[in-house]
Structure 1
Amino acid sequence: MPDTVARPPIVSAPEAPHHVRANSVGGDQIDLFWEAPADVPAPIFRIYWDQGLGCPIYVLKTSVRATTHSSTGLRHLTTYRYLLTVYDGQSESKPASVEARTHSWLRLPLTVLASGATTRLVPPAAPLPTPTPRASPRASQTSEVTLGLMTTTDYVDELGALHLVGEVHNDTAQNVDQIRVRVTFYDEAGKALETIAGSALLDVLIPGRLSPFVIVWENPPEWKRYSLRASARTTTQRPQEGLTLVHSYARLDDSGLYHVVGTVRNDGLTAADHARVVVSLYDPFGKIANAGFAYVQPTHMPPGTVGRFDCVFDYFPYQAQHMAQIAAG
């Protein structure tokens, strides 16, 4: 008698939201309306947007169960594009798109214009060019070098804090550590408003490798552009050897959070303590969108053991891609 092979059930994606509409309310608000598909009980609606930047890069704005949403703290005379999807607990629908343009503030009291929403995102002009850096041929093993800077992006979270995310590239011929990134923000007139420094997420960077960084500015005033500089110290130290990234994958949970989950194996001869996995998120065009890290569990990994990590993001691009790198504790 032939064996019977059980086939897994086919899970179909839900329908997209129906009759999606957008209305502009004043100079800083857009109201979204839609209808839920009839065949999805208790759906979750995910709202992605382009932040008014005018390019086809969408990031998750929020997840709701209602069929309306007010997008506030927007810039006046700006077109905002949205994608809405339905999540049924297993899969996500195709997106339904809508766009609207905010009105001018000129018809509103000047006191409203002056108060300005703290959560608005002011797109910067192109960053000041950074010269291609090289280590001096006569540099000692502990000399300071300038690193290359790759793409950057910025976003404002729900509390009004500005997050500047980017990548540094070790284009020297030596390993480097103590990697610091310094960013200076300028206003419309070119006056420096604030200088903030932060560290790369990888402690040791070998030649040719990239490390992400995240710099946060709490409650920033209105700014126009920024300049960046990355520096480091050459070192003979090497990243811990023997840790292997076995696999990683991404998933969305019911709350709309983006998880990069995976396993790490200790193939070395010594135990690894407090190992971290640094995760970079990229948009469909290969530009970095966010970065973070998670500690491998268990924190003590003898040779031959396997650990697990779960790096969580509340800000991520639509159709995100990720890269995971292991950092020693």
Structure 2
Amino acid sequence: MAKILILHQKGSNRNIAVSSSLQVGRLNPDHRHSWAVPEREQPPEFAGLEAFLYLSGDGQISRNHLGIARDNEDYYVLDLNSLNGTYLNGVNINPEKRNPQPKLLHQGDTIRLPGAVDLEVKLTEFMNYALLIAADSDNPLAAQNDAEQLAQELIQRKYAVHLLEGTNATKQAVRDKLDEISCLTVPESKFFLYFHGHGSCDGLKLGEQTLNPRELYKKLKNIRAPTAVVLEACHAGIFVEEENKDKIPEGVLVLTASNSDNFARESNSQPANYGGRFTRALISYIKEHPEQFNLKDFYRSLSEENRNQAKVLLQEPVMEGQTYLMPRVTSVLRF
């Protein structure tokens, strides 16, 4: 299993994962996939720059202060001739600012930057991540039931599951979670986003606010992993119709329970079994396929010959985007 490095900013909930190279410095975070100071030579170790970690350090941190680079299974820190220095476990790693040398990182090391910014080093295996949003539903418990059943299936496939339910499923909470997960994913990871709630011709309802396609896709651009988006909501097809199709980021697959003009129906059985028809079909398919499979195959499997699936097809579900491979079932994770 591939090892990744996670930097944890002490005194905060901030983490960032990296599996190749990372630049750390003071820069607008919107530019985090580019070299911070173009007029300065970019070391060859950072040719495949994966991400940029923005830190201000009260203005004492340089624009491209330090870098993290990988060599096979090892990770190294390199001071990039910063103005105020980089310290590894209390020792300045580039005191003369002439010939910076990479220093091997170990579990539990602390990298200190100016402004009392401490980054703790953690070495671990990469994870898949899921954000399941149970915002609201017509039938009691339907959104919660679907999210929790889907969570159990994803946990068995090595996903770390984040749940936002009921009144906790606010627009700001969704934004914050997407920002958090964008820092934890690496290209080897996978990300699964699920929403069950009310939809409109403007987007997804989150309390008194609406998350529209442009806002969602802007956040998903920062996810550094193949991404699946499943929307169990009325009119969810607006996320894949012509005017929004070109906004879908590369590497993202979108499945919607209905087209832009239709409703997403829920079952009307006993309360404990309430759920969206589209989601129930998806969960059944996942259960039937413990091996790795292409999520597009679920959409293609929907058939009018199956009575339950025929009801789903009446909603006119829509699929758009890239291939997404669901990992095979592994041991159950606890979270």
TM-score range, shorter chain: under 0.3
- State TM-score, norm by structure 1: 0.21
Could you say which structure has the higher helix fraction? 2
- State TM-score, norm by structure 2: 0.21
Could you say which structure has the higher strand fraction? 1
